[in-house]
Homo-oligomer: A and B are copies of this chain.
Amino acid sequence: MATKTKKFLLVTPSESDFLDIIRDFVGKIARSAGFSDDYVSKIQLSVDEACTNVIRHAYLGMKQKDIEIRVELNAKKLVVSVVDRGRGFKPESKHVDDMEAYLSEYRKGGLGLHLIKLLMDEVQFSIHPNKMNIITLVKYLDDKQTLGTKRNRKSILEKPHARKR
């Protein structure tokens, strides 16, 4: 793969029907960049989460709107921007600080942005309500992420797997 930046664009209607097209698109590019299966999965899930947010929140469920996924790939990193032209939001107010507290509240949603932040190397927001809202996800192509080493099944939160009852 040349060192020049390669650019891709995918636009679909803002409907959950097409999340698999989006995951495949991003997955194929990430794989062609040399990311290990493990990292391809992380990138796919992050992009799915960002697009699910556009479908659910940006246009309040209206289906005649678009999701735009821009991908830029070079020798160093993969950058995916998910763009909507909906109502926008305040990303800093959506932070999940304490996962333990979160789980104890049995909340049903609010995990998408948290997941994205855990899975990607960098996450940026550019919010201009009803003009253009962009979430930019960055993953670096370092050795670790392209080697495809198998991690242990050890919790990164270092807790026992089975809950005592």
A20-B28, A24-B24, A25-B21 as given contacts; A10 in contact with B7, CB under 8 Å = no
Q: Are A32 and B17 in contact (CB under 8 A)?
A: yes
Of B8, B17, B20, the residue contacting A12 (CB under 8 A) is B8
Chain B residue at minimal CB-CB distance from A66: B7
A4-B64, A64-B4 as given contacts; A21 in contact with B28, CB under 8 Å = yes
How many copies altogether?
2
**Nearest 10 A-B pairs (CB), nearest first?**
A9-B11, A21-B28, A6-B13, A8-B12, A10-B10, A24-B24, A21-B25, A8-B11, A17-B32, A25-B25
Is residue A75 contacting chain B, with contact meaning CB distance below 8 A?
Answer: no
Is residue A119 contacting chain B, with contact meaning CB distance below 8 A?
Answer: no
Of B9, B17, B28, B66, the residue contacting A24 (CB under 8 A) is B28
Is residue A113 contacting chain B, with contact meaning CB distance below 8 A?
Answer: no
A157 to B11 alpha-carbon distance, docked (Å): 40
Is residue A123 contacting chain B, with contact meaning CB distance below 8 A?
Answer: no
Is residue A138 contacting chain B, with contact meaning CB distance below 8 A?
Answer: no
Is residue A29 contacting chain B, with contact meaning CB distance below 8 A?
Answer: yes
| CB of A54 to closest CB in B, whole Å | 15
Q: Are A7 and B11 in contact (CB under 8 A)?
A: yes
| CB of A43 to closest CB in B, whole Å | 15
* 29 A-B residue pairs with CB within 8 Å: A2-B63, A4-B64, A6-B13, A7-B11, A7-B13, A7-B66, A8-B10, A8-B11, A8-B12, A8-B13, A8-B18, A8-B21, A9-B9, A9-B10, A9-B11, A10-B10, A10-B11, A10-B25, A17-B32, A18-B32, A20-B28, A21-B24, A21-B25, A21-B28, A21-B29, A24-B24, A24-B25, A24-B28, A25-B25
